[in-house]
Every structure is written in C-alpha cells, then in structure tokens.
Structure 1
C-alpha cells in the first residue's frame, strides 16, 4: 500500500515541475549576460583574445594594474568630506533631504542629495573624476585609458542631467573645492523657489 502512495506522491510532485527547460535556459542566459557562469568556449575565447593583445604589447581589455585597481576601489563613492559638509550646512538650515537616492529610469546612478518634493537633485563632483575645469589632471600612465574613463564620466553626468530635466527635475552640481556654505545657500534658495 505504501509503495502505491509513494508512486502517487512522486507523480504529483513531478507534475508540478516544469517539463521544458526554458526557465533554466533563461537563468543561464541571464548569468552569461551578467558575465557570470561563462562556458568553456567563452573562457577560451577571452583567454585567446587576451594572449593575442599581450603578444602585440597591449594590455587585455578591461584590465588595469593591481595597484590602480586597489586605489580606485578605495575611493569613497558616498559620504565624501565635501558632501558631508554640504549636508551638515543644509541640515543646519532646517532642510531635510534624501541621500544617495537612485535616479528613476537610470540603473546604477544615484544623486548625492535629493529633495523629492522640490524635485531637486544635488551632486558634489570630485575634481579628478569629473574633470573640473580648474583642477583636472590627466594621468601620464595609461593616458588613453584614463582619458576614455574620465570622458565617459563627464558624458554620463551630462546624460544624467538631461534625463532628470526631461522628468521635470532641477539639477545643481558643485565641485568638491567650492565653498559648501555658499553651495548650501544656493540649494536652500532653489528649494524655497520650488515651494512657491
């Protein structure tokens, strides 16, 4: 009797499981798109391409020296000193805001400070990473790679500004070397204008 019950249970359980492999294939495709779980042939092709570039005296795509990678990883992305100074000034003026809020419609991009009711996004940009006209420098080592990286940052900033403006937001950007007390006055004026 129990063997019949077990057979019925197995039949019920197996009928609940999908018969096709579409869901598994979708998961594999998603991992591949994210760069995870590459198959053997994909890894071989990448290794071959890297070896070919090295033989011509070029660095493989997407590689940077370990010291540069460590230095870039150590850079703070949020709560930098200038950003904290601006937030302190804004809080002292009685303004309340959101920090590090995702930008709608743009994955992996965030505004440093946002006033959602006023639809105001505030960014505090680092002089090196965003190419300040006063303090921008071009690294000598791997100059072409850095030029492309930093130009890409600036282009992404412009794209973010345009996207927010299309959504009806105002955008304020300040350089890290600017006086944050003055920047707080500008932000406070913009918030009070939007309240009217």
Structure 2
C-alpha cells in the first residue's frame, strides 16, 4: 500500500506541491513501517485531495484561459458583426431616404394623365392650325393664279356667276382669250 501511495505521490508531483509531501515520504522511509498508521493514511489522503484539487484548479485555469480567449475572439467577431450590421443598416437607411426623395419628386399618375391630355390637345390644335395654314396658303396660291385671269376676263366676275343669273341682268360675253385660259 505504501508503494501505491508513493506512486500516486510521484504521479501527481507538481513542483509547487512537492515540498508538502517530502516530509511524509522521509518519515515513512525512516520507519519502514509495515503497517500504515491510520493518521498517516488520513494525512496522505488529505494531501492527495489537496493535490487533486490544486491540479483540477490548474487544469480548470488552463481551460478557463482557453474559454477566455474564445470569449474574447467571439466578442471581437461580435463587435465586428455589429459594426458591419450597423454599416449595412446605415446603407439601407440611405437608400430608403433616396428612394423616398425620388418618390416625392415623381409625378402622380393623375398628373401624368392630365399632362398627356393637355399635350394631346395642344398637338391637335397645332395640327388643326397647320391644316388651316396649309389651306390658307393653297387658297392664296390659287388666288394668285386666278386673279390675273379674272382681271383679264369680264368685269372681274367668274363666268359661272353670269350663267346662273347672279348680279346684273346684262350679259356680256367674255372675250375669247379669257375663256381659253380658264379651260
């Protein structure tokens, strides 16, 4: 049993705890007791528990340091994630504001319909006035062509008016050259 305790003491022998077990080991070797005293066993067990506890704490400390490093890494990545999320939220807010301003500047469908109707009416007026202008120019051209012929003819009245009996009762025959030009 003594050998087992010695092996246990050697197996769990961290440098900080070795000084506590050394006096016990020397005392056991000096007496070379074949029967172990119960108080000695209690002392050894107490030292084993203390040693086990300290080793566990040391192991937990290392694990705790690893956990702390992981927590710090997660905290850093969480901070970066929060920062990137904040930037993304700001970008979305800016886009939303831009879209809101653009919508505010847009013309409503009713206003657009009214504008199209007004434009259509103006185009119709211009088309009608251009037709009238075209007709006026054609009448002016015809007038320019017919006026000299009529001046050469009888009294400035067309021959059709004389034939139908409009105007004076006197009828004078138009000169021959005037009737040839009209044909």
TM-score using structure 1 length: 0.17
Higher percent of residues as strand: 1
Greater RCO (Cα-Cα under 8 Å, separation 6 or more): 1
Greater C-alpha Rg: 2
Higher percent of residues as helix: 2
